[in-house]
Structure 1
Amino acid sequence: MQLLPPRLSKTDGCSFAKLLGTGSGFGFSLWPDFSTYALLMKWESPENAAHFFEHSELFEELENKSNHIETHFLESLGAHGSWYGKNPFHEKAEYSGGKIAVITRARINIHKLPRFWQFVPKASKAIENANGLVYTKGIGEWPLIEQATFSIWENEQAMKNYAYADIHKEIIGKVKKENWYKEELFSRFNYLKSIKH
């Protein structure tokens, strides 16, 4: 997996790619899940994506080395914030009315790490008990410091109900007031389909 990122950057039709580790349990996690990796890729067209999954040697290699691969196809509803200084998901489609996916990503200020991780169990329990949650997984580039979550919700209202719940609002308030993050991104997507390879 360490050798994969340079090869991803050369993939035709891919404008953004990140290889991410995952955490165990719900939301952010101190404990890595070494059995699972996440590959986040943004495509210039559906045809480019289809070619990668159907014809590329790189994806065939990943398939041969994996017990299971599941691909989630998303359409950007827009994002605010940045990922290393850029917003990769600035395109804004209309919400389709069905399932919605969310990617949140944060680069944590090092001197705020103890404070951040103090509240992680509370946040993880809140999302675990959230109504309308279909799936969630903690993802990230660097343990402890660069954390992200990928979640799928039954609909936009279910996602908003969680986002505006008291526990989540309390934690977000502390994030802003105490300047926990050096950088953050919040992005929403129409959930189009999933394929098991």
Structure 2
Amino acid sequence: MSIFSYHLVERPFFIAVKGIFSNPVSKNVKGLIHSEYMTAMTLGSPIFSPSRVLIGQVAVFMQWENENALENYLEQDSFGRTLAKGWHVRLSFIREWGKFSGFKIPNDRDQLESSNSPVVAVTIARMKPFAVPRFIHWGRPVEKLVRDHPGTILSLASVKFPNTVSTFSIWKSEKEMTDMVHGHSKVEKPKRHSNAMKERERKDFHFEFTTLRFKPLAEFGKWKGQSNFIPNT
């Protein structure tokens, strides 16, 4: 059964810079379907600030043929052992909106126990260069909405130059996440996400874009000294 995994790990600055230009994830890893190696960013931070792009913090989003392939990678591959020292969550696919090349969306879909179960959301897109200013204008308010929402447990953005952008968020419940998406949250300016989606439908920011929803299966390790982000895993 295909599974996904999302990894966060801190690396020395110059090694992380090298990873930006030379992806340390080999394309020949047995059982690896696709991966995206990215540099973490702080959601909602000013565009020109040291907290925007966090060079020493790496995010890797991966899809595997099965969990054994992931286990072998973390134990036997040199960069896999680096990822094993960080934090990661294993994910079972629920839903997809849009398309993004590389990943193979499973025909079999998992289900949450209820709308009050925790859920993980990943968005990933290839930007149109000339759409970046408009994307920033509409996107940063959404970043702040997700970052500050009482329903999020952990949220961040990531980037791979020149034009890949992504977000990752863990939600206390699927209901809180879907309320945010549709503008029904009891927060200030709740329609920031729905308004940005209307603008994207009017004139797309991206060459390709997808939102993926997952059931968290298990988490491992620590991120910034914390663990057990997801209840009941």
**Considering the TM-score relative to the shorter chain, is it more than 0.5?**
yes
Deviation at residue 16 of structure 1 after TM alignment: 1.0
Structure 1 residue ranges, 4+ long, deviating more than 6 angstroms after superposition: none
Deviation at residue 27 of structure 1 after TM alignment: 8.3
Identical counterparts, % of pairs: 16
Q: Corresponding residue for 2:87?
A: 70
178, 184, 188: which one aligns with 2:213: 188
Q: Corresponding residue for 1:10?
A: 28
| Contiguous gaps of at least 5 residues in structure 1 | none
Within 5 Å, which residues of 2 pair with 1:146-185? 146-165=164-183, 166-185=191-210
Specify which structure has the bigger relative contact order, considering alpha-carbon pairs within 8 angstroms and separated by 6 or more residues. 1
Q: CA RMSD for the aligned pairs?
A: 2.4
| 1-structure distance, mates of 2:147, 2:128 | 26
104, 124, 128: which one aligns with 1:88: 104
Deviation at residue 123 of structure 1 after TM alignment: 1.6
Taking structure 2 as the reference length, the TM-score comes to 0.73
Task: Note closer, same or farther for the CA distance 1:147–1:119 as it changes in structure 2 (3 Å cut).
Answer: same
| 2-structure distance, mates of 1:134, 1:47 | 28
129, 132, 145: which one aligns with 1:126: 145
Moved more, 30-39 or 50-59: 50-59
Deviation at residue 4 of structure 1 after TM alignment: 3.4
Q: Would the aligned equivalents of 1:99 and 1:153 in 2 still touch at CA under 8 Å?
A: yes
* 1:82-123 Cα deviation digits (max 9, x unpaired): 223x55334421224431111111222222221111223322
Matched, 1:32 2:53: yes
Task: Note closer, same or farther for the CA distance 1:29–1:155 as it changes in structure 2 (3 Å cut).
Answer: farther
Give the structure with the higher percent helix: 1
Task: Note closer, same or farther for the CA distance 1:187–1:179 as it changes in structure 2 (3 Å cut).
Answer: same
Deviation at residue 28 of structure 1 after TM alignment: 9.9
Q: Would the aligned equivalents of 1:26 and 1:125 in 2 still touch at CA under 8 Å?
A: yes
Moved more, 37-46 or 25-34: 25-34
Q: Would the aligned equivalents of 1:101 and 1:152 in 2 still touch at CA under 8 Å?
A: yes
50, 68, 81: which one aligns with 2:71: 50
| Contiguous gaps of at least 5 residues in structure 2 | 1-18, 184-190, 223-233
* 1:115-134 Cα deviation digits (max 9, x unpaired): 11122332222112323111
SS at match of 1:103: strand
Give the residue type in structure 2 aligned to 1:131. P
Aligned residues: 190
Q: Would the aligned equivalents of 1:27 and 1:138 in 2 still touch at CA under 8 Å?
A: no
Taking structure 1 as the reference length, the TM-score comes to 0.85
| 1-structure distance, mates of 2:45, 2:112 | 24
SS at match of 1:4: coil
Task: Note closer, same or farther for the CA distance 1:111–1:194 as it changes in structure 2 (3 Å cut).
Answer: same
Q: Corresponding residue for 1:110?
A: 129
Deviation at residue 182 of structure 1 after TM alignment: 1.9
SS at match of 1:8: coil
SS at match of 1:162: helix
